Chains A and B, each alone.
Chain A
Amino acid sequence: MSAVEPRNPRLWTFHGGVHPEQHKAESTQLPIQPATLPSRLILPLHQHIGEPAEPMVTKGDRVLKGQMIARASGYVSAPVHAPTSGTVVDIDDYPIPHPSGMSAPSIVIEPDGADTWIEHQGIERYQDLDPSVLRNHIREAGIVGLGGAGFPTSVKLNPGHIKSIDTLILNGAECEPYITCDDVLMRERADEIISGLKIVAHALQAKEAVIGIEDNKPAALEAMHKAVAGIDNMRVAQVPTIYPSGDSKLLAKILTGKEVPSNKLSLHIGLTCINVGTTYAVHRAVHYGEPLLTRIVTVTGGAVGRQCNVEALLGTPMSDLIAQCGGDPDRLASLIMGGPMMGFAVHRTDVPVIKTTNCILAAAKADLARSRPVMPCIRCGACVEACPVNLLPQQLYWFAKNREFDKVQKYDLFDCIECGCCSYVCPSNIPLVQYFRFAKGDIWVQEREKEKAGIARRRHEARLQRLAREKAEREARRQQKKSALDATAAADAGKERAQTQMQAAVERAEGRRAAAMEQAEKRRAGVDAGPGTDPERKHEA
């Protein structure tokens, strides 16, 4: 059925976009080169979106190729595997490719050269598996989005209750200049990619799959057309070459005409987009049980003698790759990870290749654009014409410059995909994307601080309540003691009074007895004195 289908079904366009010089021919002259084994491999624990992985090995452990050396931590996370057999020589902070130039926890492995695989096995019939088991297998293989974002694939393949997937889009657009890793992968391994695509389509229960490939890749188009021939619900769509058609939301617009609403995901309109490299990795994981250990990296730029694509082991220092491709360190002006539009310069050449390294651009001085001075904004609106996401970069610039973060959010700053089209066309050479990144960062920081302040306020109020309560308790106890004391005092006073009364009574009784006894004595004295003695006259004597 696909044989008679028109090669170019209906396509839509997006607003703006630019046409930079492609520089793709330089690195597609050679087939995919195998990588030479480096002297050591540095594997950062955080090569993906989500929580960093947790190490499972310790210094000195011997590991086998494909062995899991760090487990995923939490739902949105991915494990890390040993790309070859060897010994773990260190687990510490090492320089990683990041625009900040900082280091991050990594596991360093010294290969032993034997390349011994751990026991591994593919799945016979994945179609019979429960989708969650299939997803778990993909998760355990450490597969993340290889298009550059690094989102854990097992999470992406779980649309949950949000919606069913109508269209699965395979992203073979590769719009950024210089980068050709997806191109050569499609040329050489189209069948494996389609095999992976079938697995992904099954996991998502997608109704159809469309493969988007830019028209500057005729060989890849040919190969992929052949690979999908005869498959009912899969087709290849040739899209016009324009940057940034490789962005997942924009490619979705081109292929289906549907736009993802602001602040939502493609998922919410029944679409999912996946990269060809990721799909290939899914194929290897499910059919052969191989975790993600290598990836195709484009090594290009004027400072490299033999520009080509290398199937590099993860953790290979970039300097090793450049050396393998005939790199000239003297001519190296800047080492960029990624492409000239969205890539960033790394601060040292020995940082490792990670899961999201699609290209290393060893730029010579001649490659870099002449550094032109930044001039004031003339409000020409060229940036607005170029923005593919229909934002107003000029207004965002003014607000970000003035740090008016409320307004910047009202103008949908967080929908900006940081593609760089606006900076590319700005006649005043204003680094617009830098302003937007700064604004986004600052807004996130402010939100975090607000949360912290809220917690601090609640703690302070709780403390004030505690102090008040303790004071009240102390007061209550004091009152109680006082009343107890008063009660005893009253009791004591009563006792004393009773005692005094008793004493008086006793004294009175004593007095009476004494008096009575005296009288008795006198009478006896009178009797003894003999008769005649008048007791009444006793006092006369």
Chain B
Amino acid sequence: MSEYLLILVSTILVNNFVLVKFLGLCPFMGVSRKLETAIGMSLATTFVLTLSAVCSYLVNTYLLAPFGIEYLRTIAFILVIAAVVQFTEMVIHKTSPLLYQVLGIFLPLITTNCAVLGVALLNVQQEHGFIQTTLYGFGASIGFSMVLILFAAMRERIAAADVPVAFRGPAIALVTAGLMSLAFMGFSGLVRA
């Protein structure tokens, strides 16, 4: 039980995928301008991450490993991720066309979100079982979502503020992201793992 809790705390706070591992920075910067968009993106990524982590694990364990074709891991995982993303895209297009339009190119770009592939590969590297894989994937996506939403809220405030001309736009956003990252690194050592 404590092992599962450990995985969650680790992926959400201590080893946050965005601010500590620096994976998944593309949607982090690209979709964080408005809070509603960020929330939509977080939900989409959570779904994709968790599902693809589980599917990747299953493919690895029951298809690649038994036949000794682990060298196809990267291609197979990308195939899984691409299919899941495509499926998610269709569902979003149907249920919320506005979100679909607003997310735009970033929705299919979840395929190339290094956090998604990273989670799948890290699960294999750390030799997780089925439940651990699921929790790892879920925790990673919760960490990603939390940071994305916090950052979006901050960017909304910054948009209305009096920023010096040289810093306006992406510049102040990156500075803020850097400061957030510094803050999150304070979590290291939280869990003696």
A and B touch in the complex (CB under 8 A): yes
Residues of A in contact with B (beta carbons under 8 Å apart): 376-377, 398-399, 401-402, 404, 407
The contact size tier of chain B is under 10
The stretch among B55-63, B135-143, B156-164 that forms the contact with chain A is B156-164
Contact A377 B160 (CB under 8 A): no
Contact with A along B153-185 (1 / 0, CB 8 A): 000110111100000000000000000000000
Contact B162 A399 (CB under 8 A): no
In Å, the complex CA distance between A68 and B156 comes to 56
A–B Cβ pairs within 8 angstroms, 12 of them: A376-B162, A377-B162, A398-B157, A398-B160, A398-B161, A399-B160, A401-B160, A402-B159, A402-B160, A404-B160, A407-B156, A407-B160
In Å, the complex CA distance between A384 and B159 comes to 21
Contact with A along B109-122 (1 / 0, CB 8 A): 00000000000000
Residues of B within 8 A of A401 (CB): 160
Q: Which residue of B lies closest to A376 (CB)?
A: B162
| Min C-beta distance of B176 to chain A, whole Å | 16
| Min C-beta distance of A407 to chain B, whole Å | 8
| Min C-beta distance of B102 to chain A, whole Å | 15
| Min C-beta distance of A467 to chain B, whole Å | 30
| Min C-beta distance of A43 to chain B, whole Å | 46
Residues of A within 8 A of B159 (CB): 402
| Min C-beta distance of B61 to chain A, whole Å | 48
- Across the A-B interface, the 10 shortest Cβ-Cβ residue pairs: A402-B160, A398-B160, A399-B160, A376-B162, A404-B160, A398-B161, A401-B160, A402-B159, A377-B162, A398-B157
In Å, the complex CA distance between A399 and B161 comes to 9
| Min C-beta distance of A396 to chain B, whole Å | 11
Q: Which residue of A lies closest to B161 (CB)?
A: A398
Contact with A along B60-78 (1 / 0, CB 8 A): 0000000000000000000
Known: A398-B157, A398-B161, A402-B160. 9 other contacts (CB 8 A): A376-B162, A377-B162, A398-B160, A399-B160, A401-B160, A402-B159, A404-B160, A407-B156, A407-B160
In Å, the complex CA distance between A376 and B162 comes to 8
Q: Which residue of A lies closest to B159 (CB)?
A: A402
Residues of B within 8 A of A398 (CB): 157, 160-161
| Min C-beta distance of B162 to chain A, whole Å | 6
| Min C-beta distance of B70 to chain A, whole Å | 52
Residues of B within 8 A of A407 (CB): 156, 160
Residues of A within 8 A of B156 (CB): 407
Residues of A within 8 A of B161 (CB): 398
Highest count of chain A CB atoms <10 Å: which of B156, B159, B160, B161: B160
Residues of B within 8 A of A376 (CB): 162
| Min C-beta distance of A430 to chain B, whole Å | 12
In Å, the complex CA distance between A402 and B161 comes to 8
| Min C-beta distance of A410 to chain B, whole Å | 11
In Å, the complex CA distance between A404 and B157 comes to 11
| Min C-beta distance of B60 to chain A, whole Å | 47
| Min C-beta distance of A380 to chain B, whole Å | 14
In Å, the complex CA distance between A377 and B157 comes to 14
In Å, the complex CA distance between A399 and B157 comes to 9
